[in-house]
Amino acid sequence: MRKPETIEKLYLDFDGFFASVMQQAMPHLRGRPVGVIPFETSAANSTVVIACSKEAKAAGCKNVMRVPDARVICPDIILVTQRPDLFRRAHNALLNEISCEIPIETVKSIDELACKLDRHNIAEPNALAQRIKSRIRHNIGEQITCSIGFAANRLLAKIACKVDKPNGVTIWPPPDMPMPLLALPLEDIPGVGKRMEERLNQARIHTMADLWNSQPKQLRALWKNVNGERMWYALHGYDIQAMPTSRGMFGHGRVLPPQWRDPKHSLSCSRLLLTKAARRMRRDGFYANRLWLWLDIRNGGWFGQREMPCVQDDHACLAALAALWDKALAAIPKRAEIVRVGVTLLDLSPANARQLDLLENDDGERQKCELITNTIDGLNRKFGKRVVTLGAWTPPPGGYAGGKIAYNRIPSAEDFW
């Protein structure tokens, strides 16, 4: 296993991405504490601040904080409704600017990315960081800033970039390690949440120094998988490559505004979410064999699943959803307050591995439905909007069902049709 002798990776994290994009787009928000919420302000008290600006964070606000709590901490906070399509376009514009200075190796999320350094950039990392920041400032806007970390591998670079936020640059050359790392708390390591920290504490690992002095197999046992061992080697500066991943599911969830928390509106929203998830699945060339429907109900919940005969068309997916809703409506109270609804298509099969099923009439009804669905997709794609749908199409207040604010998935333009 190779251990780099110099910095090789850059990790970039945009500072308060969603709120700063809103501040760049709306000059009256600049320099003021801003909280991004999922719904219109008339429903603000019943929702949460899903992202906040650096000014709001300085006052004590945090992401995913209840609006009433945020208002107590920061009475001057300005609430603005999310604009996911604006976030998507800003993300693409920022990637374009950064790629003019250095090739982007991996886009980790809508507000984080990693790059591999060449010989010139290894020699002058500060100059590279300032060129990236200057490009963003002059070509995108002064409100959007980023923090950048340099280290031997991606994990260390990611940890480093969080050290001097906002708008900082942190460089951890291998000869200086592990001293900069040992000053940090365990929670600064990606993947170490409260539960994992409790598990580490039970194993007498209370500090970063304790973790550093542990053994690879010990962390593998604590994590209960190979990721613990991989993390040990990454923290010690080894070149650990990301493990290949495969698509496991397509799904969408939506927190419902107060006026949509009845079964009728929840069902309507779930149809819209499933249609968008199925469309994404077809774009990526998969079929699904199972559908999940889950409802978060005030003081409870409901979950159901249904097997499907390896399908991707809207007719089959919506028929399975209707059958699940029949079960749900028979099980939940008639006046149930459904706070959140979600759908998931899973047990995926690549399109080139799918086999026709004669018992399910694949040669007839199924292929006819697929042809209809593909024709609808083609029409919508041609005109760049939603021109044909199966049934009514009424998004919940606030819109963006299926194209909502996202950290770990960058929506495509089609997600907003």
Per residue in 128-153, pLDDT (tens digit) is: 999 999 999 999 999 999 999 999 99
> What percentage of the chain reaches a pLDDT higher than 70?
90
Is 317 found in the same domain as 254? Answer: yes
Residue 362 is classified by DSSP as I
Give the tens place of pLDDT for each residue, 7-36.
999 999 999 999 999 999 999 999 999 999
In this predicted structure, the answer to whether residue 40 has a pLDDT above a threshold of 90 is no
CATH number, domain of 36, equals 3.30.70.270
Residues noted as catalytic: 112
pLDDT the model gives residue 395: 78
Do 171 and 218 fall into the same domain?
A: no
The answer to whether the bond into 166 is cis (omega within 30° of 0) is yes
Name beta bridge partners: 9: 116, 151
Pick from 157, 175, 193: which residue ends a domain? 175
Give the single-character DSSP code of 140.
T
Q: Is 291 found in the same domain as 195?
A: no
Distance CA 84, CA 82 (A): 6
Whether residue 204 sits in one domain with residue 166: no
Percent of the chain with pLDDT over 90: 66
Q: At how many degrees (to 10) do helices 84-99 and 125-139 cross?
A: 130
More confidently predicted of 336 and 406:
336
Q: Where is the domain boundary, 191, 219, 244?
A: 244
- Flag whether pLDDT at 245 surpasses 90: no
Shared-domain flag, residues 228 and 326: no
**What is the C-alpha separation between 266 and 329, in angstroms, rounded?**
11
**Token digits for 186?**
């365990």
Which of 143, 158, 175 is a domain's end point?
Answer: 175
User: CA-CA distance, 130 to 134, in Å (whole number)?
Assistant: 6
Centroid of chain to Cα 301: 24
Domain match, 15 and 136 both: yes
User: Could you tell me the strand order of the sheet in which 34-37 lies?
Assistant: 51-52, 34-37, 78-81
> How many structural domains comprise the chain?
3
Tens digits of per-residue pLDDT, 64-90?
899 999 999 999 999 998 888 899 899
Extended beta strands in 238-337, E state:
249-255, 286-297, 300-311
**146 and 53: one domain?**
yes
Note whether 75 and 123 are same-domain residues: yes
The pLDDT value recorded for residue 411 is 67
193 in the same domain as 171: no
pLDDT beyond 70 at 58: yes
- Decide if pLDDT at 102 tops 90: yes
SS3 345: strand
Q: Are residues 109 and 53 in the same domain?
A: yes
Model confidence over 160-191: pLDDT tens digits? 999 998 999 999 999 999 999 999 999 999 98
Angle between helices 367-383 and 314-331 (to 10 degrees): 100
Asked whether residue 88 falls in the same domain as residue 227, the answer is: no
- Domain shared by 220 and 121, yes or no: no
Domain assignment of residue 233, given as a range: 178-244
Residue 363: which CATH number? 3.30.1490.100
Report which of 264, 255, 237, 347 is spatially closest to residue 298, judged by C-alpha positions. 255
Give the Cβ contact number of residue 100 at 10 Å.
12
